[in-house]
Structure 1
Amino acid sequence: MTPPLTARAPERTTRAGVGVGFAVDLGSHGGRPALVTGTEVLSYDDLADLVAQAQTRLPASQQLVGLVPAPTTEFIVAYLAALAGGHTVLLSRDAVLPRAYGASSAWVDGGFAPTGRPEPALHPDLRVLLSTSGSTGSPKLVRLSRTNLESNADAIASYLGLTTDDRAITTLPLDYCYGLSVLHSHLSVGASVVLSGRSVAESALWDLARATGVTSFAGVPYTFDLLDAAGWPELPTLRQVTQAGGRLAPERVSAVAERGRREGWELFVMYGQTEATARMAYLPPALTAAHPGAIGVPVPGGAFRLAPVDGHPTGVGELVYSGPNVMMGYAHGTADLARGPELTELRTGDLARQNEAGLFEVVGRCSRFAKLFGQRIDLDRVETLLTLGDHEVVCAESADATRLVVALAGEPDPHAVAEVATTAAAATGLPEHAIAVVPVAPVPRLPNGKIDQAAVARLEAPQAGGPEVSAGSSLAALYGAVLRRSRVTESDTFAGLGGDSLSYVELSLRLERRLGRLPSDWPDRTIAELAALATDGPRPRWVRLDTGIVLRAVAIVLIVGTHTNLFTLLGGAHVLLGVAGANFARFHLAGTESRARVTRLARSVARIAIPTSLWIAAVCLISGQYGWRNILLLNDALGSHTWVEPEWHFWFIEVLVSMMIGAAALMAIRPVAAWERRSPYWFAIVVLAASLIPRFWATATGYDGDLIHSSTFVAWLFVGGWAAARARHHGHRLLLSALLVAGVQGFCGDPVRETVIAAGLLALIWVPTVPWPRVLVGAVGQIAGASLYVYLTHWQVYPHLEHRWPLGGLLASLLVGIAVWRLVDHVSDRGLRRWRGRVAL
C-alpha cells in the first residue's frame, strides 16, 4: 500500500539510558526472526542475548569503538552492542582511520579488546562516525547522534510502511549510510535482514533471496545497470525496491517503476546524504509515472526550503533541509569528537525547484561537485590531476546525471583519450564506462570567456568505430611519452628502455592510476605483462607507494622547510643521497651490456647537470651570486674545503653527479662489472665498506674540513642506498642496517639530524612500500618528481619570505620548482621532437 504524499513524524517514547533505541529494544520483538544467514535464522531474543554478552566486553564509560563493517552476524552483534551501551562507533574499512581518531576498543576474535590508545574526549550524544561519500580529498567524518539514528530509522520505516513481516537483503555496504539505514529501519520495527556479501550480478544472491522470502532490496544507479546486464531476478515475495545514492535518469525511473507494476512490487526513489544520516526525501510510487524526475517530498519529520542562489531564476535555489536527522557536524580530528550539535539545517549543495504538484526536483549543483554512483566528485580536483598529465580538460556532470563528461581540448590521439579516461576513473573511483572523454577543438565558453559548463555537460562521446586501442599499445604510448622514446613495443621494460630516477616517479604514478595497483618489480616487467594487470571498476581509496617516492617528497619538504625557518629538521638531503643510490642500482645497473649501462648513466647525468649549470649560469649573470666553479659543478673538487655560502649551495647536486660519474667509471671496468653482476649484494657491501673508510678516518683524525657535504665523506650514503636495492633477505638487511647505523653515529654531531638520516635509510632498507591516500598521490608525485628542481631553485625563492611568512617560503619554493620541472620537461620534449624531425628528413 502506497503511503500518503505527506506523513506525520512517528512518535517515540523516551527511553531510559543512553543506548540507541533499535539496539536497546531488540528483546521486545521476541522470537521473531532478526538476521538470516544462509539457512540459519537468528531470532530477536537470540540477537538480544548475543548483544548483551558482547556488551560485557566493553567498559561502562563511553568508548570510541573501531569496527570494520561486514554482512555477518558477528559484525551486527558488535555494532549493536556498542550502540546499546551508549558508545561511539567509527565504521570504516580503512584501518588507518580508527587509529588516527584514537579508537579505544576494537572487535578482535569474537570480542572487544582495548587498543591501548589514549581515549579521546567524546560528546555524550555521539554514536556513529561515517566517512562522507565520494572523492572530495578530505578525511572528515560525519558525526551522528542517537537522535539522528533513531529519527531517520523511524522516518524510513514509516514512509516505506515496514512491518514485522518485511525482510530485506544486504545489497549495499554497511559503512555506506544507505546500506546502514536498511539495517536500522528494519530492526526498528522488528523486521528481518538477510546477510550476504554477494554482488547483485551473481545468481547465488537471488537464489538466497528466493529461498529466504526477501520482500525488498536497495540499489544505487549502478545496481540497476548490473541488473539490466545480468538479468532481473524473479522474486515472488518482493514487495518494494528502493533507489538512492545518485540520480537515476527519469526514463530509467519510468522503466523500473513499470517493471514493478508488472511484477507486483513498488519502486521508491529516495534522496539523501550521509550528513542527513541517510534519507531526506522520497517519491511515493504512485507518482513515479507522472514525475519520474522528482525526488519527491521530505521524509516524515523533515522539511525543505529553497535558498536563493545568485545567477539563477526565481523558484530555483539551493535545497536546504531541516529535521532531527541532520548531523551534529563534521569531525576533522579527535578534538571535534567532543563537540555538540552545531547544525539546525543542512545545505545540500544541490539546486532545486518545487513543481506544480508540490514535489521537489534537483536541477543541478551549486558548486563544482558531481554526485555519481553514490559518490561526491570534486570536479576541480579531477581537472587538476588531468592537467598534471599535460592535458587541457574541463569536467562536468552529464546533463542526465549518469556520467562524468571530460572535454579534452585539441585533436588528441586515441592513446591520449584512453589515458585521460583511465586517469579520471582512478581519480574518482568511477567505472570507466561512466566516464565520457570528448575531444573538442575549442573548449566551450560563454561570451564572457568563462567555461560553458552546461555545454560541457551536454557533450556526447564520439561513437565507436575508430581504431581500437589495446591496453598494451596504450601503455606503450605512455612509456614513449614519459621516456621520450619514439619506438616502444609491448615487449619493452622500463629498465630496458633506460628509465632513470627522474622518469621513474612520473611513470610509476601514472601506471598506478592505469592499473589500480602496481607491482613492486614493475620496472623489470614487460609492458604486455603490466597491461594484463589492468582492471576496470572502482579503485581503493588507499594505494601503496614506493618508499623511495615518499622519501623524495618528504626529504625535499624537510630541506626547504628548514631553510625557510618554518621548522628545523636537518638530514633530508642525506636521505636523498641514499634514495639516489637505490635508484642507481635499480635502473642503471639493469641488463648485462656494459656499453648500455654507461650510455644510460651518461644520459641521466646530462639530465641533471645541464639544467643545473644553465640555471646557475643564469643566476650568475643576473646577480653575480655564483662563480665558474658552481656553473661547472666543481666547487666540491676545487673550492674551499669548508662550508662557504653561497658557493656550497649546490653541494647535493655536485655529490650526486660525481657519484654517478664515479659509478659509471667503475662499471666501465669489465672485471668489476662482471663481479657486480655475479654477486650484486656483496659487491655493494664491499664498496660501502670502502666508502666508509674516509668517513671514519676524518672523525678519528679530527679533520677540520666539511665532513657532511663533501663527496669524499658522504659517498657511503649513496652506496648504502645502492646496497639497499640489492638486499634480498633479512640477513642482508640486518648487516646493511648495522653498517649504515654505525656510519650515521656521530657523523653530524647532531643527534636529531642523525636520527632523521638513519630513519630514512632504514625505511629504504626495510619498508618497500608505504600506504598512501589515493587522493594525495598526485600531490606527492608532483613534489617527488620535481624534487631536483625544487632543490635547485629554492635558494632564489625562499629568502624573500623566510622572515615574513615561512610557510609561504616553503609553498612558493615547491610551486616554482614544479613549474621549472614542467618547463624543462616541455622544452626538452619539444627539442627532442624537432631533432627527430630533422633526422627523419
Structure 2
Amino acid sequence: MTAQPGESAPPPTQRTALGFAADLDRHGDSPALVTAGGVLSYADLADRVAAHRVALGTEQRLVTLRPQPSVGFVVDYLAALAGGHAVLLTNDETVADAYASESPALHPDLRLLLSTSGSTGSPKLVRLSATNLQSNAEAIAAYLRLTSADVGLTTLPLDYCYGLSVLHSHLAVGASVVLTDRSVTDPALWSTAREHGVTSFAGVPYTFDLLDAAGWPELPSLRLVTQAGGRMAPDRVREVAARGRRDGFELFVMYGQTEATARMAYLPPQLAEEQAGAIGVPIPGGHLRVDPVEGAEPGVGELVYTGPNVMMGYAHSVADLARGPELVELRTGDLARVNDAGLFEIAGRKSRFAKIFGQRIDLDRVEALLALDHLTVACAGAEELEQLVVAVCGPAAPDLIADRVHAACGLPPRAVRVVPVDDLPRLPNGKVDQRAVASLAATAPPGSVAAATPLDSLVALYRDVLGNDLVAPHESFVTLGGDSLSYVELSLELESRLRSVPDDWPTRTIGELALLATDRRHRFWAKVETGIWLRAVAIVLIVGTHTNLFHIAGGAHVLLAVVGANFARFLLGGDDTAARRRRVLRGAARIAVPAAAWTLAVWVTVGDYGWRNVLLVNQILGGSRWAEPAWHFWFIEVVLHLLLVFGLLLSVPRVLALDRRHPFWFPFALLVASLVPRYVAELAARDLIHTSSFVAWLFLAGWVSVRTTTTAQRWLLSAAVLAALPGFFGSEARTVAVAVGLLLVVWVRSVPWPRAAVAPLGVLASSTLAIYLTHWQVYPYLEHRWPLGGLLASLALGVAVWWLAGLVSFAARREWQRLRVPHLRTIRQKEA
C-alpha cells in the first residue's frame, strides 16, 4: 500500500536477518540471476551460496570483495552475508589496504562496509548491520511494489549503495536481476533487457541525460524507473514522469544516503509531475523530521531520519570494526522543509556538501586541500549544471587546481570549473556567499574549465595507443577492443602514471584508473607485468639462439602461455557474445594479416616460402617434420589456430556458461584434456612440439593462470605443467627454460625493472611479432661471422617494421572512423 503524502507507510514484515541472502531456496526454481551465459535459478543460487558459505567457515571474518555484475561475485557476496561475515565492498585499493589486517576484531552485527559516495581515496567507511540491510531491502521492495515477477537491471555499480539496493530488494521478493556492465547508451543493453522482460531500471540524473542523447529504449515490459543519486531539476522530473505516463512506466524519485543503507524517502509516482521538487515521504518503517537551525529561513531546518536502516556508525580504522551500533538517528546535513502538501523538500545544505555526478563532495575538504598550495579559494556546487565551481582569488593555474580537485574527489574534467575572481563574493556578515560562487558556473567563460587533468591525460593516452577518437572515461581497454599488441604500450605507460597498476586494469574504466594517478618520476624502479617482461626476454632468446650467440631454446613455447593469459584477460570479457567474437577475430586478424603480408612479400621477392606459409596452414598441409624455411612460422600458426578454436568454442552459450560458472576448473579441465595427445602419441614420430594440438596445453596453462585465486590453485596448476614437461622436448635445457617461464607466468604478477630501461623493454615487447617475422631474413647473413650483430640487426629491423606498420595502421583506423562513425563521436563526447 502506498503511503499518503506526508505519512510513513507501515513497516514491512520482518523476517529472519538477511533473509534475502540466507533464504534463497524458498523461491525454488524461479529465475534469480540472468547473464549472457544463461539463467541461474534461486535453487541453484542457494546451492552455490551454501557451498561457498561452508568454504568461508563459521568464524566471523572480514571478506574483501571487488564488486562486479557477475554470478561469481553475487555468490561470494551472498555467502559472506549469509554466513555472518563482514564484507568490505570496494574497488579502491587504498581503502582495501587500510583494512587489510588478517583477523580484525569484528562486531557480531557487522555485515557490510561501504565507502560514502564522496570518500574516494579515504579509508572512512560506513558500517552496516544485518538489520540495516534487510530492513532497507524490504522497505524498498514494499514501496516499489516489487514481486517475484519483476526483473531488474544493473545499470549502476554494485559498490554504490543505490546500485546494491537494486540487487537486495529484488532478491528479497524472489525477483530476478539481469547482471550486466553495459552503458545505458549501448543498444545491446536494451536488446538484452527486452529479451528478458526487464521491468525496472535505476538511474542517477546523468543517466537520463545520456538517455536523452542516445535515445530512450523501446522496452514494453518496463513498469517503473527509479531516480536517486542527487537532485534532479524539477523540470527534468516532470519530463521523465510525463514520458512514463505516455510509455506506461512510473517514475519513483528517491532520496537517500549510504549512511541510511540506501533509501530514506520517496516521492509517490502519481505526484511526480505535480510535486516535482519534493523528495516525498519517508520509506516504510522510517520517520523524517525537520529540526530548527539557527539563522535558517522560517520553516527550514536540518532533515533528521530515524529507522532500522540507520548505520551502526563510521569506521575510520580497523579498530572501529569492533564497535557496536552508535546511532539511533541520522542527521543528514541537508536543510529541508515540509511543503503545503505535507511532502518533504530539500532547501539546501547545512554541512557543506555538494552532490555532483552521484558523488557527495565535501567542499570543506576540497578547500582545505587547495589551501595547502597557498590558494585563496571558495567552492560551491552548481548541481543543476553538474559542476563544482572553484572561485580562486588572485593569479593561479587553472590546470593545477583542476588536477588537485580531480585527485581529491575524482570528478570528470567537465565537472570542475575554475573561475579566477578579484575578490571572493561575501555576505554582509563576512562569510563567503555560496550562492554567488555557485552562480559563477553560468557566467564564467568556457576557457575557465580546466582540461589537463589525469583523466584527460589517460583518455588521450588510450586514444593515441588504440587509434580511436571515440574514447570516453566510462570505457575500458577491453570495451575499446584492445588486444595483446596494444596492451604492452598501455601497460607500461600506466605504470609510469599511476601509483599502482591493478592486475585487472584492462577491464577497469579509464575513469577508475584516473583516480590512481600520481607523480612517480622520483622512483628508480618500475613494476613491469611479467607477461610483458617475458615477451621481451623471449624474443631476445629466440633470435639469439637462432643466430648462435647462445643456446637457450624454449622462448616461443613460453610465449604461448603468455598469449593464453592475454586471451583470457581481455578477449573473453564482457557479456555480449557478438562483441567478444569481434574481439577474438580482430585479435586474430592483427596476427594473420601482417604475417601473411610479410610471407607473401618474401615469397614473391626471394622465393623462400610458399602458398601454405602465406595462408598459415603449413603445419596442417605441409610435411610432418621440421624443414626450413617451411616451418619458420610454426609459432604464428599455432597462436592463430588456438585463438580461433577457443574463441569459437567460447561463442557457444553453454560452453561460455560453464566458463563463467567454473572460471578456474573449466580451463583447467581443458588443460588436462589437451595433455592426452602428448601421452598417447610418439613425439619423435613427427615434429609434434611445433603443432597446435600438441602445444595447446601451454596456451591453456596461461589461460588458467589468470583464473587462479588461491595458492592451492596455483600449486595444482604448477604441478600439472611440471608433470607434463619431462620428455616433451627431448632436451633437458629447453625443459628447464620452459619450466622457469611457466612458473613465472603462474606465480609472479610483475617484475621490478629499472625505470630508465622500461622504454626499450616496451619497444621489444611491442615489436615481438615483427621481430619474429623478419629475423629469418636477417640473421643467416651474420650467424657465423658475427652472432651478436645478427641479434642486433634482427631486433633493429623488426622494431623498424613494427614502427612503420603502427603508423600505417593508426592512420587507417583514424580515417575509417572519420568516414564511418562521425555520429558516435557526439554521443561519446556527451558521455565524457
Contact 1:516 1:539 in 2 (8 A): no
Going from structure 1 to structure 2, the CA distance change for 1:194 and 1:294 (only over 3 Å counts) comes to same
Name the residue aligned to 1:229.
213
Counterpart amino acid of 1:451?
V
Deviation at 1:47, TM superposition (A): 0.8
Name the residue aligned to 1:276.
260
Matched, 1:356 2:340: yes
Give the secondary structure class of the aligned counterpart of 2:49: helix
State how far apart, in whole Å, the 2-side matches of 1:194 and 1:145 are.
26
From 331, 337, 344, the equivalent of 2:328 is 344
Going from structure 1 to structure 2, the CA distance change for 1:14 and 1:245 (only over 3 Å counts) comes to closer
From 198, 202, 226, the equivalent of 1:242 is 226
Contact 2:64 2:90 in 1 (8 A): yes
Deviation at 1:726, TM superposition (A): 5.8
Which segment drifts farther, 142-151 or 400-409? 400-409
Going from structure 1 to structure 2, the CA distance change for 1:172 and 1:314 (only over 3 Å counts) comes to same
Contact 1:37 1:194 in 2 (8 A): yes
State how far apart, in whole Å, the 2-side matches of 1:517 and 1:357 are.
59
Going from structure 1 to structure 2, the CA distance change for 1:20 and 1:465 (only over 3 Å counts) comes to closer
Counterpart amino acid of 1:435?
V
Aligned runs of 1:43-62 on 2, under 5 Å? 43-62=41-60
Contact 1:157 1:185 in 2 (8 A): yes
From 279, 291, 314, the equivalent of 2:275 is 291
State how far apart, in whole Å, the 1-side matches of 2:345 and 2:80 are.
38
Contact 1:136 1:378 in 2 (8 A): no
Going from structure 1 to structure 2, the CA distance change for 1:548 and 1:169 (only over 3 Å counts) comes to same
Matched, 1:459 2:440: yes
Name the residue aligned to 1:93.
91
Aligned runs of 1:172-321 on 2, under 5 Å? 172-321=156-305
Contact 2:419 2:440 in 1 (8 A): yes
Contact 2:386 2:415 in 1 (8 A): yes
Which digits, 9 at most, give the CA deviation of each residue in 1:54-110, with x for residues without a partner? 11211112121111111000110111111111111111113453443246xxxxxxx
Going from structure 1 to structure 2, the CA distance change for 1:131 and 1:62 (only over 3 Å counts) comes to same
Name the residue aligned to 2:520.
546
State how far apart, in whole Å, the 1-side matches of 2:514 and 2:198 are.
31
Give the secondary structure class of the aligned counterpart of 1:12: coil
Which digits, 9 at most, give the CA deviation of each residue in 1:755-779, with x for residues without a partner? xxxxxxxxxxxxxxxxxxxxxxxxx
Going from structure 1 to structure 2, the CA distance change for 1:84 and 1:730 (only over 3 Å counts) comes to farther
State how far apart, in whole Å, the 2-side matches of 1:245 and 1:10 are.
24
Deviation at 1:10, TM superposition (A): 4.0
Contact 2:413 2:451 in 1 (8 A): no
Name the residue aligned to 1:678.
none
Going from structure 1 to structure 2, the CA distance change for 1:314 and 1:238 (only over 3 Å counts) comes to same
From 139, 152, 155, the equivalent of 1:155 is 139
From 100, 107, 110, the equivalent of 1:126 is 110
Going from structure 1 to structure 2, the CA distance change for 1:7 and 1:444 (only over 3 Å counts) comes to closer
Which consecutive residues of structure 2, in runs of 5 or more, have no partner in the other structure? Answer: 458-489, 498-508, 526-752, 762-832
Contact 1:247 1:401 in 2 (8 A): no
Deviation at 1:129, TM superposition (A): 0.9
Name the residue aligned to 2:72.
74
Name the residue aligned to 1:624.
none
Going from structure 1 to structure 2, the CA distance change for 1:227 and 1:391 (only over 3 Å counts) comes to farther
Give the secondary structure class of the aligned counterpart of 2:522: helix
Which segment drifts farther, 536-545 or 248-257? 536-545
Higher relative contact order at CA 8 Å, sep ≥6: structure 1 or structure 2?
A: 2
Going from structure 1 to structure 2, the CA distance change for 1:207 and 1:310 (only over 3 Å counts) comes to same
State how far apart, in whole Å, the 1-side matches of 2:441 and 2:350 are.
23
Which digits, 9 at most, give the CA deviation of each residue in 1:26-77, with x for residues without a partner? 1111111110002611111111111111112111121211111110001101
Matched, 1:35 2:16: no
Aligned runs of 1:690-705 on 2, under 5 Å? none
Which segment drifts farther, 189-198 or 138-147? 138-147
Which digits, 9 at most, give the CA deviation of each residue in 1:298-331, with x for residues without a partner? 1010011112212112311111100000011111
From 419, 443, 447, the equivalent of 1:438 is 419
Contact 2:402 2:450 in 1 (8 A): no
Name the residue aligned to 2:391.
407
Going from structure 1 to structure 2, the CA distance change for 1:153 and 1:466 (only over 3 Å counts) comes to closer
Name the residue aligned to 1:647.
none
Counterpart amino acid of 2:56?
L
Going from structure 1 to structure 2, the CA distance change for 1:4 and 1:157 (only over 3 Å counts) comes to farther
State how far apart, in whole Å, the 1-side matches of 2:493 and 2:757 are.
21
State how far apart, in whole Å, the 1-side matches of 2:127 and 2:308 are.
13
From 12, 18, 21, the equivalent of 1:20 is 18
Deviation at 1:235, TM superposition (A): 0.8
Counterpart amino acid of 1:70?
Q
Going from structure 1 to structure 2, the CA distance change for 1:382 and 1:56 (only over 3 Å counts) comes to same
Contact 1:2 1:286 in 2 (8 A): no
Deviation at 1:440, TM superposition (A): 3.3
Task: Choose 1 or 2 for highest CA Rg.
Answer: 1
Counterpart amino acid of 2:78?
L
TM-score by length of 2: 0.54
Contact 1:426 1:516 in 2 (8 A): no
Going from structure 1 to structure 2, the CA distance change for 1:463 and 1:96 (only over 3 Å counts) comes to closer
Contact 1:172 1:178 in 2 (8 A): yes
Going from structure 1 to structure 2, the CA distance change for 1:544 and 1:419 (only over 3 Å counts) comes to closer
Deviation at 1:14, TM superposition (A): 4.9
State how far apart, in whole Å, the 2-side matches of 1:304 and 1:469 are.
40
Matched, 1:447 2:428: yes
Which digits, 9 at most, give the CA deviation of each residue in 1:437-478, with x for residues without a partner? 334343212223321112212223447687999969xx99xx
State how far apart, in whole Å, the 2-side matches of 1:14 and 1:536 are.
42
Deviation at 1:421, TM superposition (A): 4.3
Contact 2:129 2:311 in 1 (8 A): yes
Aligned runs of 1:640-655 on 2, under 5 Å? none
Which segment drifts farther, 85-94 or 151-160? 85-94
State how far apart, in whole Å, the 2-side matches of 1:140 and 1:362 are.
26
Contact 2:313 2:326 in 1 (8 A): yes
Which consecutive residues of structure 1, in runs of 5 or more, have no partner in the other structure? Answer: 104-116, 477-514, 523-534, 552-722, 732-841
Aligned residue pair count: 490
State how far apart, in whole Å, the 2-side matches of 1:468 and 1:177 are.
30
Which digits, 9 at most, give the CA deviation of each residue in 1:659-699, with x for residues without a partner? xxxxxxxxxxxxxxxxxxxxxxxxxxxxxxxxxxxxxxxxx
TM-score by length of 1: 0.54
Counterpart amino acid of 1:430?
L
Which segment drifts farther, 262-271 or 397-406? 397-406
Going from structure 1 to structure 2, the CA distance change for 1:38 and 1:441 (only over 3 Å counts) comes to same
Aligned runs of 1:482-561 on 2, under 5 Å? 540-546=514-520, 548=522
State how far apart, in whole Å, the 2-side matches of 1:213 and 1:7 are.
32
Which digits, 9 at most, give the CA deviation of each residue in 1:521-541, with x for residues without a partner? 68xxxxxxxxxxxx9957644
Deviation at 1:336, TM superposition (A): 1.3
Going from structure 1 to structure 2, the CA distance change for 1:427 and 1:97 (only over 3 Å counts) comes to closer
State how far apart, in whole Å, the 2-side matches of 1:442 and 1:131 are.
36
Contact 2:14 2:135 in 1 (8 A): no
Give the secondary structure class of the aligned counterpart of 1:436: strand
State how far apart, in whole Å, the 1-side matches of 2:433 and 2:284 are.
39
Going from structure 1 to structure 2, the CA distance change for 1:163 and 1:312 (only over 3 Å counts) comes to same
Contact 2:413 2:450 in 1 (8 A): no
Contact 1:426 1:539 in 2 (8 A): no
Contact 1:247 1:402 in 2 (8 A): no
Going from structure 1 to structure 2, the CA distance change for 1:470 and 1:344 (only over 3 Å counts) comes to closer
